[in-house]
Structure 1
Amino acid sequence: MSDFLSDYTSGGKAGSNTSSGTGPAPKRRHRIAFNAPVILAFTALSFAAMLSNYLTGGIANRLLFITRHGSMLNPLMWLRMFTYVLGHSSFEHWLSNFLIILIVGPMIEEKYGSRRTLVLILVTTFATAAVNNLLFHTGLIGASGVAFALILLSSFASYQEGTVPATLILVAVLYIGREVVNGLTADSISQFAHIVGGFIGCAAGFALNQAKAHDAK
């Protein structure tokens, strides 16, 4: 009995832990999770484009990152209809767009997948450029349209088949309504790009959720 008590008081428990191979729990090492590769790559490419524009004194934007009305026979015309979304007129312009994209984009990519997120970005980019070049003679630069598409799409987070989310109505009224009003006044930012991006985000929200509901059946 005394041997048992001495073993218990002198660390018998520790001995049992040692014999079972257990010890102090190892410290967990936190690592960076690249949870949204498309959004992260988009952000990195756009930052690189902005940096190249600063280093070239604005030449990069004029050559590659602004799309405007022109000859469709020019190969650069087609290239700029995609690359303009990477360019921005200033760091503040870039920051205002990518703060939204980095907040909303990962949620969209995790919900719908990287491939669909990439398709949404490409479709929004091209559609906005195409309509701008057909209807206007002003240059278009920046990811504003993509940011608005992601904002509108995010309002479908709690979408249920056969319903229209109240969040979608509020976002549409507040964001698109504001852009329509602002578009009637002179503005250095293309309000039109915001509106097109918003409508594409709405269409994508309905289409993606309908497809998801169909797959679940």
Structure 2
Amino acid sequence: MKALWSKLDQDGDGQVTAAEGWGALRRELQKVTMDAPVVLSLCGACVAVHLVTVLIWPSLTQDYFQLWPWAYSSPGRVMFYVRMVTQVLGHASWEHLSGNLTLLILVGPASEVAYGPQVLMRVMLLTAVVTSLFHYLLAPRNAVQLGASGIAYMLIMLNSLRDHQAGQIRASFLALLVLWISKEGFSLLRSLMPGGASDGVSHHCHLLGAMVGAAAGLLLKEPAARVQAEQLCRRLLATLKTLPARLKLL
């Protein structure tokens, strides 16, 4: 306690003024380093959206930060596509938010250090779009989707591949992949079966997030697989460009 007091009492007069206390706080804050700007920015944005929703603008999350049910969505409107990305920032409750933040902070920083901020941001955007597309395809017509759980599951798989060596498959990665796919896949199938009741969880979001993370991690760590994927994407884009002309000839 004496050491702390002497540290705060810079002029040695036996008293700690507000200026001295503030100066000590600033010195301690300068020791904090931003080790994962992308992940921590995502967490901060999620908290900000939820705070504004709870305290100021009750319909904010509903209006701009969740995917609307398909029955109320219009592909002809810009917000239809904007929400495919912003939906990861909205959360239904503090419990929902804190659960996702815990996962993001547990595995996100290590993944960002391993793969780099720019790469991680691209994989996050890809995850948001993929999970949104499959929400429209698989979810009930009256269901909404929101939250960063898809990105959290993506980061879990991506993090498991940080030390992946080209040409090898780690047993721990396979175990984790089987665990997530079986758990979320079976839950998704149960909800899609006739008479199946939904538990309010976007299992397809969790499942696809994990699959995107696994695929991205392998492609980033396997040069040969990355080259093949790039060639496949180029062929696919070339086919899509010529598709309208082909359809006219039919």
d(CA) in 1 for partners of 2:218 and 2:42? 24
Match of 2:51 in 1: 51
Q: Aligned residue for 1:179?
A: 184
Runs of 4+ in 1 over 6 A off after TM superposition: none
Q: Deviations over 1:38-81 (max 9, x none)?
A: 01110100100111111246401210111132211111111111
- Out of 162, 165, 170, the residue aligned to residue 160 of structure 1 is 165
Aligned counterparts of 1:175 and 1:65: Cα–Cα separation in 2: 26
Equivalent residues in 2 for 1:96-107, closer than 5 Å: 96-107=99-110
Does the 8 Å CA contact 1:155/1:165 hold for their aligned counterparts? no
User: What is the RMSD of the two structures over their aligned residues, measured on CA atoms?
Assistant: 2.0
Separation in 1, partners of 2:181, 2:99: 17
State the alpha-carbon separation in 1 of the partners of residues 56 and 175 from structure 2: 42
Q: CA deviation at 1:158?
A: 2.3
Which residues in structure 2 correspond to 1:40-189 (within 5 Å)?
40-56=40-56, 58-68=58-68, 69=70, 70-136=73-139, 137=141, 138-183=143-188, 184-185=190-191, 186-189=198-201
How far apart, CA to CA, are the structure 1 residues paired with 2:185 and 2:225? 33
Q: Check the 8 A contact 1:84/1:140 in 2, yes or no.
A: yes
Q: Residue in 1 aligned with 2:18? A: none
CA contact (8 A) 1:161 1:213 kept: no
Unaligned runs of 5+ in 2: 1-26, 192-197, 227-250
Q: Which residue of 2 aligns with 1:31?
A: 31
Q: CA deviation at 1:175?
A: 2.0
Letter in 2 for 1:179: E
Task: Give the Å deviation of 1:135.
Answer: 3.1
Matching residue's letter, 2:125: L
- More moved, 110-119 vs 161-170: 161-170
Q: 2:138 is matched by which residue type in structure 1?
A: L
Cα distance in structure 1, aligned partners of 2:224 and 2:58: 44
The alignment's TM-score, normalised by the length of structure 1, stands at 0.80
Asked whether the 8 Å contact 2:167–2:222 carries over to 1, the reply is no
- Amino acid aligned to 2:51: L
Name which of structure 1's ranges 34-43 and 67-76 shifts more when overlaid on structure 2.
67-76
Match of 1:202 among 214, 219, 224: 214
Q: 1:193 aligns with which of 170, 193, 205?
A: 205
Shift in alpha-carbon separation, 1:213–1:123, aligned structure 2, 3 A = closer
CA deviation after TM superposition for structure 1 residue 182, in Å: 2.4
- Percent of aligned pairs with the same residue? 31
Q: Is the 8 A contact 2:65 2:88 kept in 1?
A: yes
TM superposition shift of 1:181: 2.4
Contact 2:35 2:109 in 1 (8 A): yes
Q: Which runs of 5+ in 1 are unaligned?
A: 1-27
How far apart, in 2, do the equivalents of 1:212 and 1:42 lie? 32
Q: Structure 2 length normalisation: TM-score?
A: 0.70
* Alignment-derived partner of residue 22 in structure 1: none
Matches of 1:56 and 1:211, distance apart in 2: 49
CA distance in 2, matches of 1:212, 1:116: 18
Q: Is the Cα–Cα contact under 8 Å of residues 49 and 90 in structure 2 kept in the other structure? A: yes
